[in-house]
Structure 1
Amino acid sequence: MTATTLTPSPSRTTGTALTVQQTARPTGFPTAGHFRFVQSRVPEPAAGTALVENLYWSVDPYHREMMDGDFELNAPLEGRTLGRVIASRDASLPEGTVVLHRKGWRTHALVHPEEARRLPEIEGVPLSAHLGVLGGTGLTAYVGLTRVARLRAGEDLFVSGAAGGVGTATGRFARLLGAGRLIGSAGSPEKVKYLTEKAGYDVAFDYHAGPAAELLAAAAPDGVDIAVDNVGGDQLGAAVGALRHRGRVVRVGTIAQYNTPSAPPVLFDHADVVEKSLRIEGFLVRDYRDVQEELYEFAVPHLLSGTLVSDETVVDGFERIVEAFLLMLRGGNTGKTLVRAA
């Protein structure tokens, strides 16, 4: 596994639970002042529930979008979380079971069976992979390539935001699925180097270095067959221009607009869509839960053999989850951003 680990913070107090709440709507980039930590006693499970002590928390770009209205103020934030059942009053969730749930940014969570998915503990596969290449991040990349783009062997790809969690997983999966040239964009020279030296990309560019269309044209002078777009904005416009006949755009996210809601609309030649018979399709990974077992069958053997790596930036200590979130929004991560219990 390739992981960047930040320094740990002190352990939380035994018998005390911590929860993160959003206190205000941000304009532009959020700050630590938009959040607060709330302390309480560790709850007792009621009949039909189980108490989960959380071990890993997923920090994702979509959280920023939800801060504008989807997250309720002064209430616990939701998000993908992995933990172990430490007390149970439901036979389907026995103590010791490792589960994935969405009760989010808190150290302990009470879950009903329908709110938690039991995870297989696979020898040789770290638990964190269930939030990375085996989790929603990996499922997004896999669905985007196999269901939406319908990648064929030898096809060339451009991936925007390629050094993030979905971007690194997309590149690694595409390579294993027989893709041709892989071109990626990232936000710094260090990330560009990471993509080409470690993450399997053939060419990458720093999108700050000039107009996106010119940078992509230089990296892929003969065009590409598929664009997996995590960013939107100018990079989406550049991708449409670079697509070959019957090219496909897979729309995953719009990071470029999350902190700049007044950003201008994406500009591209709309005639290209007709004249080149292009397809532009977005999707929500929650609509493809039935593909999860197929992802396991595909990815686990590669993880065990070492031909697949889970790219991660790991921040130690739940008390640093807001810091990890802001770090990710500023581009301070490589791969999936995770917070690990101290």
Structure 2
Amino acid sequence: MMISREIHLVRHPEGEPGLADFRLVETPLPALGDGQVLVRNRYFALAAVMRTLMTGADIGMPLGTYRPGHALFGSALGEVVDVGTAADGDLRPGDLVMHHYGWRDHVVESAERFRRVPAGALPDPTLHLNQGLTAYAGLVRVAAIRPGDIVFVSGAAGAVGTMAGQIARLKGAGRVIGSAGSPDKLKLLTGRLGYDAAFDYHEPPVLDRLREAAPDGIDVYFDNVGGEQLAAALELARPGARFALCGALQDQLGGTSAAVLVDPAEMIGKRLTLAGFHVADHRDLQGPWLQDFGGWVRAGRIEVPQVVVPGLEAAPGALLSLLRGEYAGMVVVSVV
């Protein structure tokens, strides 16, 4: 009988989560059934939204929320080890697959729950775990970015934000502005990632900082944060501005997000569009995104800042470090 090592949630944390809220356990894997595959994970991604999932709040994730006594989940890249009878004929041992069963080293599930990664699509397999598709969908489809747009990205040093600013530039934005929480992250944005301006959201008032960076207002707001930054973006929105609401980091990272007052008359007068979205609703963009992204990577036109943490057992500590703002870009765990 095969054993899978898994990280389980011990309890819904009260207040800030800690290492005691996680447990590494060994779980027997079920026998491979009809239509199922056995996958050995190689990498899985960490994300700020996991803090909210730890509270038990259901925010519409494909697999629901985290439950005490069960393994956590998240985007993962694995290798097919074995295929059961009547399983999806497109999957073979040795294939790389994407799925949502991170936080463990092996998984047995229905073949339909795994998506085969095209061979050679990207030069580094970890790049398949980047959150660029979320940024791409929010900018290209939800906000319908146009050449010359002035774009503001909040939480710009995170896994989504580092991609959003670069994609906006590659899609013709006239000016790209980001917010982040430390001098090193601001330097990353305006240096390697090509943001035109960036400000520290810890330096109030945010409205003044954004006005300094965008004196002519903004056309597109990619919101990873909510709260005061969303309010500032509404204040400085130009006529016809489009807002793609992706995340609520101010809440997810333990802050208190003040209610944002929206003036319907102003929205109508400025013809503003505010749209919340989830990447799961835009999976049809996977092909165009992979084609664009692969070309940009090979041409050296886009960079994916990442931190690779070795070892499944190190995942809880790495997530806590991410929640404390210690990382920039995407964070992946190498399962060894």
- For the criterion TM > 0.5, the same-fold answer is yes
Q: Following the alignment from structure 1 to structure 2, what is the Cα–Cα distance between the partners of residues 267 and 33?
A: 38
Q: Following the alignment from structure 2 to structure 1, what is the Cα–Cα distance between the partners of residues 34 and 116?
A: 19
Q: Following the alignment from structure 1 to structure 2, what is the Cα–Cα distance between the partners of residues 320 and 44?
A: 28
**Structure 1 residues 30, 44: CA separation in 2 closer, same or farther (over 3 Å shift)?**
same
1:88 to 83, 86, 92: 83
Match of 1:220 in 2: 214
Match of 1:256 in 2: 250
Q: TM-score, normalized by length of structure 1?
A: 0.90
What do the CA deviations read for 1:114-162 (whole angstroms, capped 9, x no partner)? 1100001216621111111xxxx11111111111110000111000000
Asked if the contact 2:121–2:294 (Cα under 8 Å) also holds between the matched residues in 1, the reply is: no
Alignment of 1:298-337 (within 5 A): 298-337=292-331
Moved more, 177-186 or 308-317: 308-317
Q: Following the alignment from structure 1 to structure 2, what is the Cα–Cα distance between the partners of residues 257 and 333?
A: 18
Residue 241 in 1 paired to residue 235 in 2? Answer: yes
Residue 30 in 1 paired to residue 24 in 2? Answer: no
Aligned residues: 324
**Structure 1 residues 269, 190: CA separation in 2 closer, same or farther (over 3 Å shift)?**
farther
Asked if the contact 1:44–1:51 (Cα under 8 Å) also holds between the matched residues in 2, the reply is: no
The secondary structure found in structure 2 opposite 1:100 is: strand
Higher relative contact order (CA 8 A, sep 6+): 1
What do the CA deviations read for 1:43-91 (whole angstroms, capped 9, x no partner)? 6533322211101101112222222222222111121111001222234
1:75 to 58, 70, 79: 70
2:8 to 21, 31, 40: 21
Match of 1:58 in 2: 45
Asked if the contact 1:228–1:250 (Cα under 8 Å) also holds between the matched residues in 2, the reply is: yes
Q: TM-score, normalized by length of structure 2?
A: 0.92
Q: CA RMSD in A?
A: 1.7
CA drift of 1:29 comes to 2.4
In structure 1, runs of 5+ residues without a counterpart are 1-14
The secondary structure found in structure 2 opposite 1:209 is: coil
Q: Following the alignment from structure 1 to structure 2, what is the Cα–Cα distance between the partners of residues 285 and 66?
A: 17
Residue 127 in 1 paired to residue 125 in 2? Answer: yes
**Structure 1 residues 262, 193: CA separation in 2 closer, same or farther (over 3 Å shift)?**
closer
CA drift of 1:42 comes to 5.8
Match of 1:5 in 2: none
CA drift of 1:41 comes to 4.9
Paired amino acid for 1:313:
V
Identity in percent: 40
Asked if the contact 1:29–1:259 (Cα under 8 Å) also holds between the matched residues in 2, the reply is: no
What do the CA deviations read for 1:193-230 (whole angstroms, capped 9, x no partner)? 00000111010011112211111011111111111000
**Structure 1 residues 171, 261: CA separation in 2 closer, same or farther (over 3 Å shift)?**
closer
1:114 to 100, 112, 115: 112
Residue 274 in 1 paired to residue 271 in 2? Answer: no
Asked if the contact 2:5–2:106 (Cα under 8 Å) also holds between the matched residues in 1, the reply is: yes
Q: Following the alignment from structure 2 to structure 1, what is the Cα–Cα distance between the partners of residues 9 and 262?
A: 37
In structure 2, runs of 5+ residues without a counterpart are 57-64
CA drift of 1:259 comes to 4.4
